[in-house]
Amino acid sequence: MGAGPGILGRVMTKPCQWISDDYGLEVTYLTPVDHGADVAAAVWQAQATTGEGYAVKWSGAGTDAAPLTAAYLAGRGVRGVPAPLQTRTGDLWSKREGKRLSLVPWISGSRAAETGLTPDQWSSYGALLAEVHATAPSADLCEVLPRLSPISARMPAQLRSVEHRLTAEPPADALEDELATVWRERRGLVTDLLHLAEELASKKLGGDLAICHADPHLGNVLVSGGTGENNVGSAVEPTDWHLHLIDWDDVIFAPREQDLMFMLGGMGAVGPTTEAQLSAFLSCPAHGSQPSVSPAMARSTSTRTGSPTIAAPALSRMRSAGHSPRHCVRKNVGRTPRFFGRKE
């Protein structure tokens, strides 16, 4: 992951002003970060006059539980979860033009989706997710966390909208015509899966609930430090690396299988591609007890203990303002992103 200095044009002056007004940080440059498939979010790398770098996210996706959960996990000592910065008013995000503006420290490193993970890193990534799952949420955070992924919540309506577009309207071009043909051939299967998903969603299936990232593929994993780029085919392990799990927009309170399904097939290059990688991911007891750092770094760094989380004041302010945390979170659930050329 990386980005270089950019030029502040008219488009960039607005977020720079927001950052100054909301966070008290003066920005010397702001560069778009093109990674990611979230059409409802914009991400920039910011350089402040103080010399620090930040990842700036302006998002209309997910829920407000995202920064609250990241702050809570970081405050509980979960390494590998970047904590969001507080605004001038002590909140974890600000609202700008109806979207959530949040900042986290910039992480200089490589994207695991591009470099892959070594065996030790796969094992430590399993340990990191296990630590997330083992961290019990506070009562306030538990009330805020959605039980159903915002993506899953809006998928049935989106699916029916797409079906109507492909089966009841004339195709806009040759590509859409081809897609409509494939859709009609698979229509029965798609419909059966939709009905099954809706049936299962209406049932209480049991299982222990845990904080789940809900999108933990390698595109959301960064590797910082180390002696160079990963070489997954080499017998030599890089040293002094650290794993980071980013983009908590889709966080939910659900059975941990919500996250583990990303590791059990179907993800291609952004999940385990060999039995050895999957075994390494699942290698530690209770699915993980190792830190999300290299053995060398673990030996040289003392284990962080839980500290008061900065999520608590934000949750308290929501209550004191007369808002139910769950109500505030639910306002963002179900918003439909752009698809099939729709403009927002």
Residue 229 confidence (pLDDT): 46
- Which H or E element spans position 143? helix 139-144
Q: How far apart are CA 215 and CA 326, in angstroms?
A: 21
* CA–CA distance, 77 with 15 (Å, rounded to integer): 31
**What is the DSSP secondary structure assignment for residue 323, as one 8-state letter?**
-
Q: State residue 153 phi and psi, 5-degree precision.
A: -65, -35
pLDDT at 264: 86
pLDDT the model gives residue 298 = 40
User: Which pLDDT score, from 0 to 100, does residue 10 have?
Assistant: 40
For all residues of the chain together, what is the average pLDDT?
Answer: 80
CATH topology of domain 10-148+206-330: Transferase(Phosphotransferase); domain 1 (1.10.510)
Q: Assess whether pLDDT exceeds 90 at residue 25.
A: yes
Mean pLDDT, to the nearest integer, of 313-329?
Answer: 52
Confidence of residue 306 (pLDDT cuts 50, 70, 90): very low
As annotated, the residues of the chain forming the CATH 1.10.510.10 domain(s) are 10-148+206-330
Least confident of 46-50, 137-141, 242-246, 309-313: 309-313
pLDDT > 70 fraction of the chain, expressed in percent and rounded: 74
Residue 231 has pLDDT above 50, yes or no: no
The pLDDT value given to residue 317: 53
CA pair distance 255, 251, nearest whole angstrom = 12
Distance CA 29, CA 47 (A): 5
> Cα(238)–Cα(120) distance, rounded to whole angstroms?
9
User: Residue 343 pLDDT > 80, yes or no?
Assistant: no
pLDDT on residue 269: 86
pLDDT at 230 over 60: no
